[in-house]
Amino acid sequence: MITVCFHGAESTGKSVLADKLSREQGATWVPEYGRTYCEERGTDLAMADLLAIAEGQDLAVEAARSGNPRLLTDQLMTAAWAEMLFGEVPHALMSYPKADLYLLFAPDVPWIDDGTRFFGKGPLRSRFAALAPHLLGIGQAKT
C-alpha cells in the first residue's frame, strides 16, 4: 500500500482535500495531530510540545495501519513547524518513517485565521511551504 502525505503551508486545503478523497475513494485518512493538540492545549508552543505532537502523530498513524492508511500527515509537518518557530529541527523529528509520496500544496489560496495558525503573511507563508522539499532533501528553503 502506497501512503500519500499532503504537505504545505497552513490554510492551503490539505485537510479539506484529504477528507474529500478519503470519503470518495474509501481511503483511510490520518489527520494532523498538531491541530488537535493545539485546540486542546493552546498555541503557546515549546519544542517539547512539538516532540509530543510528533509522538501523537506516530500513534495515530500506527493505529490507522490496520485500515491500510493511504492519506496521512506525518512528522515532516512538525519538523517544518520546529524550523519556523525555533529555527531548528531536532533529529527526533526527522527519524520517523516517511510517506511513499508527498504532494506539496502551494500557498496560492487565501489564508484563513482559525485560531491555530501562525504564518499568514506572504513571505512567512512562502517559507513554510518551501520547507517540506528542503527537509526531504529535494529543494532549498526560501528565507
Any domain includes 62: yes
Q: Could you read off the pLDDT of 97-112 as tens digits, one per residue?
A: 888 888 889 888 888 8
Domain containing 29: what range? 4-136
CATH number at residue 23: 3.40.50.300
Q: For residue 91, is pLDDT > 60?
A: yes
Any domain includes 42: yes
Any domain includes 86: yes
Whole-model pTM?
0.83
Domain count, the chain: 1
The answer for residues whose C-beta is within 8 angstroms of residue 44's C-beta and 6 or more apart is: none
Any domain includes 26: yes
Distances (CA, A) of 51 to 48, 76, 94, 142: 5, 12, 11, 24
Any domain includes 119: yes
Any domain includes 28: yes
